[in-house]
C-alpha cells in the first residue's frame, strides 16, 4: 500500500477544493447507483439460490448417486464450508486489487463453480465443486456489501446495502419454486447450472461501475477518489464534504491501525463486538434452521409431504416480503430500533410454536393451523428485523484501514454460525424434541434482544467516517433514542 500522505494528496499544483469545483459531474449518477444496487441484488440472489437449491436438488442427487444420509449432509454442507474460506480469503484480495476487481474475480468463480457442479461425474467431484462454488458465495458476501456501502451516500446506504438481503430472500424463493415445480422437468444439473447466467450478468456489469472511492483514495490517490465520486454523486458540495472526511480519517490513521493488526486495537473492539455479535444472532436465532428444515419438522409433526413443501414455500415468500419491507424502512426507522421492535415478536412466536408442537397436533386440525401461523409469524418478525441488519452492520461499522479484513471476519462469522446451526438442528430436535427446540431458540432470541439493547449503537444517518470518528473518540455506544455517534459529527 502506498504511503498515506502520498496516496491522499493531489498533484502539487492542484488545490483540492479547486479540483473538486472543476469536476464534471456525471448526469447519470443515480443510474450508476441503481446499477450498483442491481449488482448487489443479483449477488444476493445468487447466494440465496445456490444455498437454497440443494433442498430440491438433493433428492435427485441422492437418487443418481445412491447417497447414504451422511453423504447427503456432506454434499449440502460443502458450500457452507467453502463460504467460510471464501469470506476470509476475499478480504485480502479486496484490499490488494480493490473491491470492484474482487467482485469480478468472484463472479468468475461463480460461473466456473456452477458449471463444475452441473458436470460433476461423481459425488466427490460434486462435493469439491460445491466447495469451490462456496468460495464465490462467501466471497460475495464479504466484498459486495462493503463495496456498496463505500459507494453509497450515507442517507441511502442502508437501503442500497440491504437490497443484498432482499435478494437473498428472492434467491431462496426462486430455489424453492424451482425445486417444487421443476423437479420432474429439470435434472439437478440444470437446476445448478442456471446460476451461471446471473453471475455472467454481474461480471459484465462490473466493467461499467467505478472503483470504491474509499479504496481509491487510499491506494490510488485523491484524483482516483474524485473520479469515482463524480460518477455517483450529483452535488459538488457533497463531494467536498465526503473528501474532507476521507482525508481527516486518513491523517489520523496509524500503521498499527491497519489490516488484521488493527482489529486488535482496543478502540475497534466495540464495533467488533456489535457487528460480530449481531452476525451470530442473525444465523443462530432459528431462521436458517426453518429455511433448511421446515419440511422435515412439519413432516415429523404429522404433515403430509405436499403440505410440508407448500409450507416451506410460504416460509420463503414471507422471508422475501419482510426483507423487502425492512430494506425500505431501515434508514428511516434505524438499524437498532428495527431489531428491538421485531425481536419480541420472534420470541413470542417461537414460544407459541413450541407449545403447539409439544401438544403433538393432529394433522388437519386447528392446532395444525396454529403451527403454520406461528411459523410464518416467526419468519415475519425475524426476517423483517435482525436479518435485514445482519449483513449491513458488517459493511458500515468498521474503519477503512481494516475494513477488508473486518468484513472478512464478519462474513466468516455469519457462515460459520450458519454451518453450526445446519449441522446441529436435527440433533437438537432429537435431544429436546420439536417443542423444546423451539423454546431453546426463543431463548436465543431473548439473548439477541438484550445484546442489541446493551451493545449495538444506531448507525443510521451517519457517514462511514462519522462512525469511525465515534469509535476513536469512544462515542460508539447506545445512548437514548439517538446514540452518541452523531454528537459532534
Query: Any idea which fold 1-252 has?
Result: Growth Hormone; Chain: A; (1.20.1250)
What's the number of CA atoms in the CB half-sphere (13 Å) around residue 345?
19
* DSSP string for residues in 152-174: S-TTTHHHHHHHHHHHHHHHHHH
pLDDT given at position 454: 93
| pLDDT greater than 60 at residue 487 | no
| pLDDT greater than 50 at residue 18 | yes
pLDDT given at position 359: 83
Lowest mean pLDDT among 10-14, 39-43, 122-126, 252-256: 10-14
pLDDT tens figures, 74-103: 888 888 889 889 988 998 899 899 999 999
pLDDT given at position 160: 82
Q: How far is CA 265 from the centre of its chain?
A: 25
| pLDDT greater than 60 at residue 22 | yes
Most confident of 31-40, 170-179, 273-282: 273-282
Q: What is the mean pLDDT of residues 200-225?
A: 89
Q: What is the mean pLDDT of residues 301-306?
A: 65
Residue 253's pLDDT band (cuts 50, 70, 90): low
* DSSP string for residues in 109-147: HHHHHHHHHHH--SHHHHHHHHHHHHHHHHHHHHHHHHH
pLDDT given at position 121: 94
pLDDT given at position 446: 97
Lowest mean pLDDT among 135-139, 160-164, 228-232, 310-314: 310-314
pTM: predicted TM-score of the whole model, two decimal places: 0.78
pLDDT given at position 362: 63
Those residues with Cβ within 8 angstroms of residue 400's Cβ, 6 or more apart along the chain or in another chain: 214, 218, 246, 249, 250, 253, 464, 468
Is the fold of 1-252 the same as that of 257-489?
yes
pLDDT given at position 4: 43
In angstroms, rounded to a whole number, what is the distance separating the alpha carbons of residues 7 and 25?
Answer: 23
Q: What is the mean pLDDT of residues 365-371?
A: 77
Residue 8 near residue 246 (C-beta atoms within 8 A): yes
Residue 108 near residue 204 (C-beta atoms within 8 A): no
DSSP-derived letter for residue 210 is P
Percent of the chain whose pLDDT exceeds 70: 87
pLDDT given at position 9: 47
pLDDT given at position 481: 42
The kind and range of the H/E element at 151 are: helix 123-151
Residue with the bigger pLDDT between 102 and 361: it is 102
pLDDT given at position 11: 44
pLDDT given at position 20: 74
Residue boundaries of the structural domains of the chain:
1-252, 257-489
Alpha helices, H only, 359-402: 366-383, 386-396
The kind and range of the H/E element at 190 are: helix 188-193
The domain 257-489 having CATH identifier 1.20.1250.20: the answer here is yes
Q: What is the mean pLDDT of residues 217-238?
A: 85
Lowest mean pLDDT among 3-7, 169-173, 366-370: 3-7
pLDDT tens figures, 138-192: 999 889 988 988 888 878 888 888 888 788 888 888 887 887 777 678 888 999 9
Amino acid at each position: 500500500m502506498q504511503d498515506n500522505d502520498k496516496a491522499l494528496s493531489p498533484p502539487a499544483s492542484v488545490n483540492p477544493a479547486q479540483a473538486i469545483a472543476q469536476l464534471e459531474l456525471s448526469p447519470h449518477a443515480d443510474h450508476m447507483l441503481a446499477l450498483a444496487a442491481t449488482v448487489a441484488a443479483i449477488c444476493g440472489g445468487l447466494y440465496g439460490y445456490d444455498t437454497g437449491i440443494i433442498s430440491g436438488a438433493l433428492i435427485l442427487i441422492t437418487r443418481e448417486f445412491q447417497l447414504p444420509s451422511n453423504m447427503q449432509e456432506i454434499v449440502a454442507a460443502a458450500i457452507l464450508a467453502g463460504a467460510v474460506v471464501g469470506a476470509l480469503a476475499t478480504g485480502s484480495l479486496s484490499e490488494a486489487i480493490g473491491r470492484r476487481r474482487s467482485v469480478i474475480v468472484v463472479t468468475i468463480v461463480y460461473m466456473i463453480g456452477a458449471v463444475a457442479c452441473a458436470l460433476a461425474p461423481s459425488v466427490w467431484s460434486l462435493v469439491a465443486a460445491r466447495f469451490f462454488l462456496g468460495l464465490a458465495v462467501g466471497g460475495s458476501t464479504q466484498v459486495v456489501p462493503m463495496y456498496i456501502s463505500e459507494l453509497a451516500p450515507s442517507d441511502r446506504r442502508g437501503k442500497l446495502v440491504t437490497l443484498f438481503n432482499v435478494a437473498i430472500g428472492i434467491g431462496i424463493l426462486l430455489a424453492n419454486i424451482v425445486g417444487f415445480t421443476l423437479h420432474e422437468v429439470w435434472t439437478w444439473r440444470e437446476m445448478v447450472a442456471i446460476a451461471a447466467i446471473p453471475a455472467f450478468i454481474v461480471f459484465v456489469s462490473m466493467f461499467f461501475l467505478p472503483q470504491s472511492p474509499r479504496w481509491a483514495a487510499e491506494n490510488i490517490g485523491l484524483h482516483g477518489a474524485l473520479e469515482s465520486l463524480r460518477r455517483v454523486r450529483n452535488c459538488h458540495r457533497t463531494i467536498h464534504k465526503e473528501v474532507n472526511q476521507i482525508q481527516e480519517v486518513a491523517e489520523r490513521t496509524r500503521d498499527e491501525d491497519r489490516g488484521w493488526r488493527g482489529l486488535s486495537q482496543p478502540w475497534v473492539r466495540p464495533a467488533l463486538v456489535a457487528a460480530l455479535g449481531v452476525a451470530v444472532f442473525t444465523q443462530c436465532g432459528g431462521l436458517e434452521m426453518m429455511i433448511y428444515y421446515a419440511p422435515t419438522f412439519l413432516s415429523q409433526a404429522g404433515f403430509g409431504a405436499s403440505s410440508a413443501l407448500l409450507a416451506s414455500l410460504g416460509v420463503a415468500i414471507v422471508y422475501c416480503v419482510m426483507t423487502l419491507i425492512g430494506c425500505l424502512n431501515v434508514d428511516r426507522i434505524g438499524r437498532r430500533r428495527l431489531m428491538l421492535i421485531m425481536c419480541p415478536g420472534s420470541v413470542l412466536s417461537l414460544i407459541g410454536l413450541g407449545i403447539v408442537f409439544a401438544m403433538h397436533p393432529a394433522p388437519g386440525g386447528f392446532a395444525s393451523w396454529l403451527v403454520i401461523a406461528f411459523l410464518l409469524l416467526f419468519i415475519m418478525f425475524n426476517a423483517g428485523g435482525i436479518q435485514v441488519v445482519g449483513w449491513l452492520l458488517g459493511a458500515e461499522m468498521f474503519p477503512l484501514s481494516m475494513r477488508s479484513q473486518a468484513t472478512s471476519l464478519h462474513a466468516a462469522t455469519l457462515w460459520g454460525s450458519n454451518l453450526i446451526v445446519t449441522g446441529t438442528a436435527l440433533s437438537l430436535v432429537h435431544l429436546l424434541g420439536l417443542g423444546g427446540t423451539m423454546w431453546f431458540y426463543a431463548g436465543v432470541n431473548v439473548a439477541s434482544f438484550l445484546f442489541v439493547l446493551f451493545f449495538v449503537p444506531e448507525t443510521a444517518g451517519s457517514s462511514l467516517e462519522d462512525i469511525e470518528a465515534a469509535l476513536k473518540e469512544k462515542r460508539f455506544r447506545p445512548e437514548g433514542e439517538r446514540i452518541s455517534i452523531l454528537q459532534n459529527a
